[in-house]
Every structure is written in structure tokens, then in C-alpha cells.
Structure 1
């Protein structure tokens, strides 16, 4: 009995080393698991389900093989791929979850999320997030031709990287109070998220009760997988090549 969690792969055609590691992971490590959870930023950029590039088809095929084998796969949107929608779900069999979802993880109620909603000190990002998650703005964007959306997405990705380089690293991390507030709001003592690219297991105190916040790693230099069984929880790495 094993459940796997991954996040922040930032897959793109420009990084075949990451893609190959992901495809090997999907082919070799998911055969007998109970479920796979992808907690956002699977792709470096997703501008709509109608982008049927060979690269995207390759990734979607890996998920379809998994779900066709009877193993459930769940996805929570990240800040890079929040436009993944119903068509992607239908083509892959991947089930889309709410941005904050509580699951029963071998008897432990666990809150899973991408993690960007916890970074409340990054005011500029939270304003941007509110804007791009507006359904009307998303509809307007999706009305544009695919090539136009690709250009806009590339420009926004470049601007985001430049802005992040100018920000203090602590501002882009989660806010401790926001973490405690969310654990209390959902009445859980276990949280799993990505987004910050700071893999770690944090032990917390929530109103006198022990709590755990597990942060998934990114896939920039090596793969990162959280492996959970009824008896254990371990952050593991996977080497490229």
C-alpha cells in the first residue's frame, strides 16, 4: 500500500532531462500504488487544453496509461498550469481536485494544495493570482488564437522569473500564520503542498496538538517524490539520466 505525491515538475520541451525522468517514474514506479497525486505546476506553462503539441501528447499518454490500468491519479492546479481543464481530464483520466482538498491518507485526514495560497506576504503575486483566476478573464484569454496565447504565456513566464529574482526569498515562502489558520479551518493536523521548492518536513503545534507540514521538492536538478505508506512517509529523490 503506497501513495505517491509529486509537484513542481515544470515540464517543458526545453528540458528533456526532466521529461525523461518523469516518464521513467510513470513507467517504473506507479504499477502497484494506491494513487498518484500531482500538486500543481506539472507544466512550466499551460495555455489551454487545445494545445496538442507532440510534447503534451507524450505526457498525456503517460497519464492515460496509468489511469487505464485502474490506478487513480489526482491533480491540483498550480500557478503555472491553472488552465488545465475538463478536456485534459477526459483525455488522461486524471481527476481534477479543488485547490484545497482534504483526503483520507491511510486514516489520517490530510489537506493537500499547491501552496501558493499560503504565500500571503507576496502581495504582488496574490493580486496577480486573483486576476488570472477570474473566470471572465480566463474566458477572454481562451478566445484568443493558440499562437497568440503561446506568445502571451511566454512573455508572462519571462516577466515572472525577472520579478521573482528581485523579491526577498522569505516573501515567496509560506506565511506561518496562514499555515496555522488553514490547518485550523480544515480541522486537520497534516498538510502536503509544493510551490516553494523547499522540500522539508515541518513539525508544528496547533492548539497544543502536534501537526506536520510536508513540502514537496521541485524537479529542476533531480526528481522529487513523497512516498507514503500506512507506516511511513519519506521524501525521496530521483536522478536524471
Structure 2
């Protein structure tokens, strides 16, 4: 059994989500071969040198599951793209590039966070290109922790306001981009998060039936996609 989750947006202000995740680790994740976390694991990340007590507690919980035998893979999201090697060492997880092709149930499956598929959101795509530029990353990493925290808060606030103002199709994936990416990687199953719209979409890629599985975000409830011999099944659960 393999589990995939995304968009937990963990932060101290949402102890219900943290409790649910820790419970998920102690139950389902401990029985899994692997756990994939496809981005926006934390609501904000300003650098490994700025890890809080809360974030270290999460890292320790992940490490315990890793030591028990579950392989843990983590992908950057748009809110936690500055997670680095120090956190991964503490958490016992492997950082994946976005996109990443993984063998699941004998099939090549493309894993992504999903933000790069939203090409109609031109303002966000410009911001992403600037933030992920190696020069920009170098500058960000060399800012003081206080400056990075202030910048993160500003970006977070403006992102929420801009998203609220945009049309729903603008902040969703671009269908043509989905097909192009799947063709490029020669896959017929794509799994991603980011859009907070859990569903399985059937489409056509190179004349064959394909599917795009969107992972749910953890807010009013939690979501996990389970991959086993019976197939791919995503189900919600209560945050307790």
C-alpha cells in the first residue's frame, strides 16, 4: 500500500489539522510501504534555519515513521519551496523534484504539486519564475530570518487576496498544459494537489484514455489517496 497526500498547510494556528496528521502517521502511514507528500505540507517555510518547535515536532514524527520502515517522499509546494536538506534529514524523508515519475502499481505515474499546470494565472506564473530563479533563491537564503518572515507574510496575504479576486478557471489547471506534460513524460496517470479540488478527471492523451487525480486539501476534512492491488482510491476523513 502506498499513500499520497498534499496541501495540509500545517501551522500552529490549526491544531486540528496537526492532530489529524499525527494520528494519520501513527495509523495508516505506519502500515504503508511509502508516503508521498506532494507539496504545501506547511503553510509557510522561510528556511531550515527558521524551523520552529512546532515544525521540529512534525519532523520528529515523520522520522519515527521512516525509522519504522515507511519510505517518505516530500515535494515542494508553492508555500514551502524553501524546505531544504536539514529538514529532510531531521524528518527522514527524500526530497523529490517536481515533476517526478514514480512506479505505482506497475504503472509510470507522474507526480506534481500542480501549480505549474495553472498557466492561465499569468501573475502567479511570473511570481513563481522570479521566486524559483537561482539568483532569487540565493538572495532569499541570504536575507535575515526576520526579513524572510516579513516577506513570507506579505506574499501570503497578497496571495489570498488575489486568489479571492480571480475567476475560478484562472486558478485551476489549464487542460492543454495537462496533456502536454503527460505526453512529455509518457504517462497516462497524473496525480497532483494545489487546486484544492479533489476529483478524478478522465481525459485523452495520444488517443488513449488517461486520468488526472487531484488530491484534496486538509481543511474541513483530511484526504488521502491509497494505491494498492485494487487500484487508486481517494477518501476523505474527519479531522479529530
TM interval, shorter chain, is over 0.9
CA contact (8 A) 2:33 2:69 kept: no
Match of 1:167 in 2: 166
Q: What count of residue pairs does the alignment treat as equivalent? A: 240
Match of 1:108 in 2: 107
CA contact (8 A) 1:225 1:237 kept: yes
Match of 1:99 in 2: 98
1:137-161 Cα deviation digits (max 9, x unpaired): 1111121221221121111100110
Match of 2:61 in 1: 62
Q: 1:88 & 1:226 partners in 2: Cα distance?
A: 24
Q: 1:139 & 1:59 partners in 2: Cα distance?
A: 26
Match of 1:208 in 2: 207
Match of 2:86 in 1: 87
- Unpaired segments ≥5 residues, structure 1: none
Matches within 5 A, 1:145-224: 145-224=144-223
1:178-209 Cα deviation digits (max 9, x unpaired): 01111110001011000000000011111221
Q: 1:28 & 1:45 partners in 2: Cα distance?
A: 26
CA contact (8 A) 1:194 1:216 kept: yes
Q: 2:66 & 2:135 partners in 1: Cα distance?
A: 32
Q: 2:72 & 2:83 partners in 1: Cα distance?
A: 14
**Structure 1 residue 230: Cα displacement:** 2.1
CA contact (8 A) 1:21 1:238 kept: no
Match of 1:50 in 2: 49
Q: 2:181 & 2:11 partners in 1: Cα distance?
A: 32
Q: 1:16 & 1:32 partners in 2: Cα distance?
A: 24
Asked if 1:35 corresponds to 2:68, the answer is no
- Unpaired segments ≥5 residues, structure 2: none
Q: Structure 2-normalised TM-score?
A: 0.98
Q: 2:5 & 2:78 partners in 1: Cα distance?
A: 15
Match of 1:226 in 2: 225
1:31-71 Cα deviation digits (max 9, x unpaired): 22110000000010001011231110111111111111121
Q: Which deviates more, 47-56 or 120-129?
A: 47-56
> Which SS does the other structure have where 1:50 is aligned?
helix
CA contact (8 A) 2:105 2:231 kept: no
Asked if 1:8 corresponds to 2:42, the answer is no
**Where has structure 1 moved over 3 Å in runs of 4 or more?**
none
